Amino acid sequence: MNERVSVIETSPGVRPVDHPPARSGRIGVLLMNLGTPEGTSYWPMRRYLKEFLSDRRVIETPRLLWWPILNLIILTKRPGPKGRDYATIWNNERDEGPLKTITRNQAEKVTAHLKSIAGDKITVDWAMRYGKPEVRERIQALLDQGCDRILLVPLYPQYAAATSATACDQAFRALMDMRWQPTVRVSPPYHDDPVYIESVVASMKQELAKLTFEPEVILVSFHGVPKEYLLKGDPYHCQCVKTWRLMREAFGWPADKFRMSFQSRFGTAEWLQPYTDKTVEALAKSGVKRMAIVAPGFSADCLETLEELDGENREIFMHNGGEQFAYLPCLNDSDEGMRVINHIVERELQGWI
């Protein structure tokens, strides 16, 4: 009798009455993006900047030098101006940054797409590396829903230690505290994926068709990183250049009319060049009257695209002799944007669904 009970209790699908709750074999997908402050006033901005600029992946300056600069200068002076910049692009209806709105929409659309091909066995969620919703919290939420396999999807086409790697770091920190870790996959960068290149170019053509002018030059702007990171072996620069080359070939424009640059530099160190703001200024001064900017390294519009490119760089161009300027939106949750994300997710779930 005892032997028979033992067999029953260890048979698949049969657990003793005192067995702790166990996960049920679902699959989770977690979309991860950079982050956004919880508000535009001083203290939410300060909290966000502190978390972001304290990350050793982002700022590699020795802590002994960086700590007083960050805490005594930057976190005292920058929250106010940065908050005002965020206020110009803020989604007042939802009281959140556009990056959060768009990433949520992307997750909802991936959910609908996967449901059409895999039923209800997959749960899609989203998280931010800095700010909320937190990566740890959303991984736990997936576990609580029975996901014992999780696909992490950093929404960065080009890999950089300061973006893709730090997002994964945050996920791995959460896993380190778990007794029963889920099986995890990480989707790779997709800087040269044909679907991504085709979608970016198709989106650009759609946006250009809406303009009342034809640009003389299109500038492809990527987020910058310190040049030192490239010299230490970060592949980001090379992947950006390849994306630009493939876009140019697909678009069919010569290199002098289809240029690339790097934006958002910070501090006094040399960053990847050419710089976007200096390039825009030089183009205007050289006699270019009509130009457009696109930022294919961002999967969703945010401060660096809406305020910096469409705001600051538009002003630079017009102030230096330019006449017509257009910012071409990111893929966001458009049909072309979702084509890319759905493609990446489906590909990386092979063998699980």
Binding residue positions for Fe(2+): 223, 304
Angstrom distance (rounded) from CA 154 to CA 173? 16
Residue with tokens 């009455």: 17
**Structure-token pair, residue 325:** 């300027």
Q: Residue 296: which of 162, 187, 202, 161 has the closest Cα?
A: 202
What's the angle, vertex CA 298, arms to CA 319 and CA 226, rounded to 5?
A: 75
Numbered residues of the known binding site: 223, 304
Contacts of 203 (CB under 8 A, 6+ apart): 328, 329, 331, 334, 336, 337
Contacts of 41 (CB under 8 A, 6+ apart): 83
Number of neighbouring beta carbons within 10 Å of residue 84: 12
Contacts of 87 (CB under 8 A, 6+ apart): 40
